Structures are given as C-alpha cells and as structure tokens.
Amino acid sequence: MGHNLDIQSIYVLVKMYELRNVKLVADALGKTSSAISKILSKLKLHFEDPLFIQGRNGFEPTTFMDTNLAHLEHILATFDSIQHSEFSPQTLKQEIILYGHALFWDNFGDKLYLALRKDAPLAKVSMRQWSLEARSRLVEGENSVLFNTYDETLPQVILQKSICEVSPTFYVRQDHPAKNLEELANYPFVITRNPGWNDVRYPLLERLAAVGYQVTPTVEIENTLAIENIVRNSDHYSFTMSRLLPDNCRGIALPTLSDIRINCVMSYHRAKQNDPQKEWLYNTCHRVLNQLAE
C-alpha cells in the first residue's frame, strides 16, 4: 500500500461511510455517480480492501473502514486547520482568480480591482470571463470566485453568498420614440450573451414572459460596449442596471414584479467557506457594489 492518496479521495471515503449511497455522495460533493465509483475503485486497490459491501440497506463498511474512520477524519480535520492560518491581504502574494460576465466587469471591474489592489498590493489579480470551462473548474475545487446573479443550476457544492440586489431596466437612446415597455415591443432588442451564464436561458426574460411580456432578442453580443454603441446609434434597446445607464441614454422601467430585482452573489467552492481570503473578497465586493447599486 503506497502513500499517493489525495484529500478529495479521503472526503469521498468519509462521506461514503456517512451516507452509504454512491448517488447521495455524488450529490453532496457535486460530482457524478460515475466519478465517485471510479474513486472508490481506486481506493479499493490502494488499501487492498473492499471498503464497502453491498447490503440490503445500502453499502456497509468493512472492518477496515470501521477501524480506520477515526484516522481518516483526523486527516481531514488536520487539513482543514491549515486553512485557518492568520490572514492579511497586505502580505498576500498568490494569484486571486475572479470570474464574472461582461456586464459585471464593464460596470464594476475597474472599481473592484482598485479596491483589491489597495488592500493587497502584492497579489496578482486575474479577472476572467465566466464560461462552461470555468464552471467545471470551480465545481472541481479551483480556488477561485465567481461574481454573478443567483443561479439555481449550480450544484450545492458551490456556495452562493448574497452581495446586494439591483433593479434591471431597459434602456434606449435619449430621443428614442418609445416611451414605455409596450411601445418597445416594436423595436429590435439587443442582449448580452456569455457562455456558461446566459447562453442557454435568460432568467429575467423568463420572469417577464411569466407575466405576459414576451421579449425576444434580435441579436446577441458578448461585448457590452458594442451593445451600448448600437443602442445610442439606432432604435435598438437593451437592458442594464437602473443606476448604471450609459451616457446619452434613458431608462424604460420594467413592470412592477415582486421578484424582478436581481440578487447579485459571490460564488465559491463550499470547501472554502471558512477561508479568510474569501471573507475579505466578499467584504470588498460588498462595499464596492453597494456604493454603486441601489
């Protein structure tokens, strides 16, 4: 029996001992049942023991697991304690990986970066576009943070911590003929499109459709600056946050709905929920967004 064993595998063992069900373990850790089964197969070879035996009421642990569970839990407790060392952003030198969509970076990216730079002058800050690939890395345990709106499709292994609520609004050029939402229906709608965020569905448009407002995008563009230029130089309309209207544009209010406000959240792997760096990032972003948003 060698010593090449990663922490994630130990998490799987302990969780399997607790739940006795591969699917429940997969759901709890944000993985597929197939991935959990593969990890367990490797562990059986590693420890030269079946580890769990199929019984009437699920998988039952072997004597080896009963004997060594306390040791495995001790390893995890020791590993977790390493994460709680004294933290100071002033001495932080590691890379800070932040994900967000175009609308977020265009409106808040510069202010957030300057606030982080002031607190952590030695750290490298990487602000990246959210994507399906980034989603996979975050779920698999990458030490990164996502700034987005609440996403019910993210697995439970990702913690979504509310930062603030903002009110969305449609906007048009100052001399646009439309004066209200009903009149806007006669004009083309341009919308932001970001892989991994709103390339499959757009929650805001779904909410509008639920109360009788069918809004269909005419064009989808990833670059928000291009969208603003299109709106300023044509009869197209788009949407943004009500306190962030582009220059030479005016807002057209959405219908009054109880759930129309958007919940902005900071998302990261649940394994990092006690990480002091995440608490600092949250407090900094909370301060920046609440200075600008409603």
Q: For residues 160 and 155, what is the distance between their CA atoms, to the nearest angstrom? A: 10
Same domain assignment for residues 101 and 40: no
Which pLDDT belongs to residue 241?
A: 82
Domain count, the chain: 3
> Which amino acid makes up residue 288?
V
Q: Are residues 223 and 267 in the same domain?
A: no
Please tell me whether residues 286 and 213 are part of one structural domain.
no
* Structural domain of 30: 7-82
CA angle 281, 131, 149 (to 5 degrees): 50
Task: Tell me, yes or no, whether 107 lies in a domain.
Answer: yes
- pLDDT one digit per residue (tens) for the chain, 294 residues: 555 778 889 999 999 999 999 999 998 888 899 999 999 999 999 999 999 998 877 889 999 999 999 999 998 888 877 655 578 999 999 899 999 988 788 888 999 999 999 999 999 999 998 888 888 899 988 999 999 888 888 899 999 999 988 788 899 999 999 999 889 989 999 988 766 555 556 777 888 888 788 888 899 888 888 999 999 999 999 988 877 889 999 999 887 765 677 788 999 999 888 889 999 999 999 999 887 654
Do residues 268 and 240 share a domain?
no
Buried b / exposed e over 9-41, threshold 16 CB at 10 Å, is bbbbbbbbbebbbbebbbbbbbbeeebbeebbe
Tell me: do 172 and 149 sit in the same domain.
no
Per the domain annotation, does 2 fall within a domain? no
Tell whether 244 is covered by a domain. yes
Q: Are residues 154 and 279 in the same domain?
A: yes
User: In this structure, are 231 and 273 located in the same domain?
Assistant: no
Same domain, 99 and 38: no
Domain-embedded: residue 54: yes
Domain contains 44: yes
Asked if 158 and 175 sit in the same domain, the reply is: no
- Residue 1 resides in a domain: no
Structural contact between residues 174 and 65, judged by C-beta atoms closer than 8 angstroms: no
Task: State the CATH number of the domain containing residue 234.
Answer: 3.40.190.10
Query: Of 34, 50, 82, which residue constitutes the final position of a domain?
Result: 82
- The angle that helices 33-47 and 22-29 make with each other, rounded to 10 degrees, is 110
Residue 58 phi, psi dihedral angles, 5° rounding = 110, -165
**Would residue 110 count as lying in a domain?**
yes
> Measured between alpha carbons, how far is residue 206 from residues 106, 173, 209, 237 in Å?
24, 25, 5, 18
Do residues 230 and 278 both lie within one domain? no
* Together in a domain, 182 and 42: no
Q: What is the structure's pLDDT at 5?
A: 79
Q: Are 16 and 121 found together in one domain?
A: no
Q: Are 237 and 184 in contact (CB under 8 A)?
A: yes
Residue 16 belongs to a domain with what CATH number?
1.10.10.10
**Which of 82, 104, 128 lies at the terminal end of a domain, its last residue?**
82
Please check whether residue 140 is in contact with residue 29, taking contact to mean a CB–CB distance below 8 angstroms.
no
Question: What pLDDT does 149 receive?
Answer: 83
Q: What is the 3-state secondary structure (H, E, C) of the chain?
A: CCCCCCHHHHHHHHHHHHHCCHHHHHHHHCCCHHHHHHHHHHHHHHHCCCCEEEECCEEEECHHHHHHHHHHHHHHHHHHHHCCCCCCHHHCCCEEEEEECHHHHHHHHHHHHHHHHHHCCCCEEEEEECCHHHHHHHHCCCCEEEEEECCCCCCCCEEEEEEEEECEEEEEECCCCCCCHHHHCCCCEEEECCCCCCCCCCHHHHHHHHCCCCCCCCEEECCHHHHHHHHHCCCCEEEEECCCCCCCEEEECCCCCCCCCEEEEEEEEHHHCCCHHHHHHHHHHHHHHHHHCC
Q: Is 135 a member of any domain?
A: yes
7-19 and 33-47 helices, crossing angle to 10° = 100
**Which pLDDT belongs to residue 267?**
95
Domain boundary residue, one of 41, 57, 82: 82
